[in-house]
Amino acid sequence: MTRHLARKRFGQNFLVDEQIIYQISSLFSNQLATPQSKDQQLIEIGPGRGALTEALLKHQTPLIALELDRDLIPILQTRFSHHRHFTLQQGDALQTDFNELAENKPMRLVGNLPYNVATPLIFRLLENIDNIVDMHFMLQWEVVARLCAGPGDANYGQLSVVVQNQCETKALFQVPPSSFSPAPKVESGFIAITPRTEPLISKEKHRQFNQLVKTAFAHRRKTLRNNLKKLLSTEQIESTGVNPSARAETLSIDDYAKLTELVKS
């Protein structure tokens, strides 16, 4: 196999730990054997040199691999083009129309995501959430902790609230730097992100909700009274039962829902 050195500009840290690869692949064993899986499209974001790709293809289910690095395309083609279940697409996940890529089939997304694009990509995927069955991603452990954090947790923030409004999140396991080549300087983690049947906040209110949450967490040391003064008065905050002197990280999603109802369109 042609040697490809990881590139910093693409945030490449290739997964090489066979045990971790097996753990990830095993998560899909039963789920890809269900009748409804025949109507779903499995998409791997950032296959890299194809270690996880190879394991996923053993499930004999159609797989689309989306890779940004053009130099990896011939390597992946050489390894997998003979496989009847394999489709390779070169492109930037941040610019990709995933519904079009999946031909509007319900999508299951998996990948070892570059740390520098993970958060913006998750926000982008939330825009297509109606067509996503689930997402399983390798992320920086700090991001996994933020995605799973609840009120009062130091990791709880805008990312936690916005994602948990639309999805259930579950940290599956932690992954050490030695599982990658080159080894990153931080711990990683594998997470399951599953869209809720109904978001906690109605779709009609998402724009106001996202604006409110972003504003509330803009200055973490400040109180809601100060952070939200351009959106809500102290009296309005109090009318929902929320303490205006509280800080953003102490509020539940239900609290943000109550406040959102008072934000003007």
**What CATH number does residue 180 fall under?**
3.40.50.150
pLDDT per residue, tens digit, the chain (265 aa), is 445 555 454 457 999 999 999 999 998 876 665 545 678 999 999 999 999 999 999 988 899 999 999 999 999 999 999 999 999 999 999 999 999 999 999 999 999 998 889 999 999 999 889 999 999 999 999 999 999 999 999 999 999 999 999 999 999 999 999 999 999 999 999 999 999 999 999 889 999 999 999 999 999 999 999 999 999 999 999 999 999 999 999 999 999 999 999 998 7
Query: What is residue 90's predicted lDDT score, i.e. its pLDDT?
Result: 97
Whether 2 maps to a domain, the answer reads no
Q: Which of 195, 212, 236 is the last residue of a domain?
A: 195
Residue 237's domain comprises: 203-260
Gap between the Cα atoms of 225 and 232, Å rounded:
8
Asked if residue 139 and residue 106 are part of one domain, the reply reads: yes
Tell me if 24 is assigned to some domain. yes
Q: Which letter does DSSP use for residue 126 in this model?
A: H
Cα separation of 133 and 24, whole Å? Answer: 17
Residue closest to 126 by CA, chosen among 153, 161, 155, 157 = 161
Q: What is the pLDDT of residue 35?
A: 47
* Residues 185 and 142 occupy one common structural domain: yes
Looking at the structure, tell me whether residues 138 and 224 fall in a common domain.
no
The domain boundary residue, chosen from 139, 162, 195: 195
Res 28: pLDDT = 81
Number of domains in the chain: 2
What dihedral angle (degrees, nearest 10) is formed by the CA atoms of 34, 103, 206, 218? 100
Residue 262 pLDDT? 95
Task: Decide if 98 contacts 107 (C-beta within 8 A).
Answer: yes
Let me know whether 191 and 79 are in one domain.
yes
Contact 109, 134 (CB under 8 A): yes
Provide CB contacts within 8 A for 134, sequence distance 6+: 108, 109, 192, 193, 194, 195
